[in-house]
A and B are shown apart, each in its own frame.
Chain A
Amino acid sequence: MSSETGFERDAESDSASPSPSSSVNLESVRAIAKKDFQDAIRSWLFWGLSFFFFLLLVGVTGTLAYFGEDIAAEGATTDMLVFFTSEITRVVIPLIALILGWKAIAGERETGSIKILLSLPHSRKDVLLGKLIGRSAVLSVSLIVGFGLAAVVVAALLGAFDIVDYIGLLGMSIIYGVAYTSIAVSLSSLTKSTTIAGAAMAGVFLVFYGVWNTLSTMFGLLAEREILFFDTVTYTGEFDGQEFQGERLQDWVYFILNIDPGEAYGSVLTLVTDVDAIELQVELNEQMFGGELPFFLQDWFSFLILLFWIVAPIAVALYRFDRVDL
């Protein structure tokens, strides 16, 4: 058996005829997404998640209401709520999406129930897309339920409350969640072992939260010593009326750092909210580049990066999954 020890190779390589690429039927995709959603919505995970998001928002709000009289006086409470919450959801949403998507395909292959799906007139592409939509819906609905219920408490505790910022945070969190769901479902389709799929999920998390976060430090060290092609760029900035000289990394390094979906999620929030804390950060960044950010550091580009993380993984999976033995 080719596939029992790891990620499998193409069945195509020892196949007589080229494997046909399956078609997509929207009715099939809808039927699979609906079934998958029905299945998942009955799990404790879904209700646990909704409750978790609710507690998270209420917790942050409560803390703000308790300590934040000064913030309230400045009318910046929703800003702070968005800022603190996004710092937490940035780590938590990937974890949840990876857990939700982990077994999406690998689990069905392991138990054989994928044969129930594929005995019916669905194509393999339908199954992948249906699963992605179904799981994304579960995550989105739990976010909406959690945020929705919490809105009442937030409004009561904070008094003033900017609904546009709040919905902006919810919307971007959903897109961020779908990106990680796409990564999870796609990886899950590459193996029939849930153990390997689980390891792949852990790997993804480590890459973006371990490796990526240390990249900027690493690049910084390399640049200081001018090792290889690393170098620093000197710039002049202004903060609190004082001019200062700073050093920054080369442009392309920022591009690499910004490919991380978590980084993109953080920057894209400026697109939909007017949270001062985040805006300030952007202002500082602009100074580093002599007044205007390069296109790949602008918030609309971060939005494209998030879309890329939705489209690219599932595109690879759609191509690959048509070509394996189940």
Chain B
Amino acid sequence: MPAITVDNLTKSYGQTLALEDLSFRVEEGEVFGFLGPNGAGKSTTINVVLDFIRPTAGEVTVLGLDAQAHSREIRSRTGVLPEGVETYDRLTARQHLEFAIDSKDADDEPEALLERVGLVDAIDKKAGGYSKGMSQRLMLAMALVGEPDLLILDEPSTGLDPNGAREMREIVREENARGATVFFSSHIMEQVEAVCDRVGILRDGEMVAVDTVEGLRDSVSGGTSLRVTVDRVDDETLQAVRSLPDVSDATTEDETTLVVQVDGSKTAVLSELEDRGIEVRDFTTREASLEDVFQSYTTGSEVEAQ
């Protein structure tokens, strides 16, 4: 049974279409990265999943239950880290957690939960004095209450420093190892590729790609990007490099830097340059990253997508 099934989901606000005929599933036990630029419709999707907003058309089931009709039961088995939310200024971290524990009829200890997210030192401080990162840690701790079957994390790295983001990913792995399905939204590929089994890329309210991390990586052509620092470069040289058999694209970054997308031999590029009497001062190569995949899917350019 899939943890989340979204079928032909459409949500419109008057004339504005936030989601258009969106369909995807999140399998039980996986970590699913829900990726897309800001405004792509990630939060709208999550809001429908949690019944914060109602769909214009389409169906959503969560843990096998209809998202609208059985919302309370779904939420009793789900831990949520909502996005762009303020905590209660006058309540301490302990009170926030006691409220969540009370609400879910769970028997967690606030100390133990805050220990996990690294906020135990501030347990009796009012949340009004917390930094953005501390609030985020507190809300992550609230999401963990009651060992949920499903974790929905909406932009969980917001406000976290790199170390905090790493700790957060560690918790995602722990929860997944315990058996929880994790649905994790982000606009930064780097944060999902390290933990996600599968990634779905959303753009303008439509899913443009769903695949494993490896699958997405394989979908990129021009596997390597070669960066060459030279003494000079002209259009004629650029054309010559572009016409080489293994080269898919070549651009100049500035007057002395050349960026070449190359699928096979790099030496052919360097030889071509030297044959033309251009001095190669330095060069570096870089494997195409998932960030490039993400870029290609979300900016609409066809530079690298096959």
Chain A positions within 8 Å of B, measured between CB atoms, are 1-2, 11-12, 14-17, 19-20, 22-23, 25, 27-28, 31, 34-35, 38-39, 42-43, 111-113, 115-116, 118-123, 325-326
CB–CB B53/A112 < 8 A: no
Report A-chain residues with C-beta under 8 Å of the C-beta of B54: 11-12, 15, 17, 19, 325
> Could you say which residues of chain B place their CB within 8 Å of the CB of A22?
71-72
CA distance A209 to B143 in the complex (A): 46
Q: Size range of the interface on B?
A: 35 or more
A38 x B86 contact (CB < 8 A): no
Judge whether B86 and A112 touch: CB under 8 Å: yes
Whether B142 is near chain A, meaning CB under 8 Å from some CB there, is yes
Shortest beta-carbon distance from A17 to chain B in Å = 7
CB A238 to nearest CB in B, in angstroms, measures 59
Contact of A31 among B52, B55, B86, B103 (CB under 8 A): B103
Contact of B87 among A25, A113, A123 (CB under 8 A): A113
Is B1 in contact with chain A by the CB < 8 A criterion?
no
Binding site for A on B (CB under 8 A): 12-14, 16, 47, 50-58, 68-69, 71-73, 75-76, 78, 80, 82, 84-88, 90-91, 95, 99-100, 102-105, 126, 139, 142-143
Contacts of A28 in B (CB 8 A): 103
Main secondary structure of the interface of B (DSSP, over half): mixed
**Additional A-B contact list (19), CB under 8 Å, known A15-B55, A27-B105, A326-B52:** A15-B54, A16-B56, A17-B54, A31-B103, A35-B88, A35-B99, A39-B88, A42-B90, A111-B86, A112-B84, A112-B86, A113-B86, A115-B52, A116-B139, A118-B51, A119-B82, A120-B100, A123-B72, A325-B47
Contact A120 B90 (CB under 8 A): no
Q: Please list the 4 inter-chain residue pairs (A to B) with the smallest Cβ-Cβ separation, ordered nearest first.
A: A119-B80, A121-B76, A325-B53, A112-B85
Q: How far is the CB of A9 from chain B (nearest CB, A)?
A: 10
**Given known A-B contacts A111-B85, A326-B47, A14 and B103 have beta carbons under 8 A apart:** no
Contact between A120 and B103 (Cβ–Cβ < 8 Å)? yes
A118 touches B52 (CB 8 A): yes
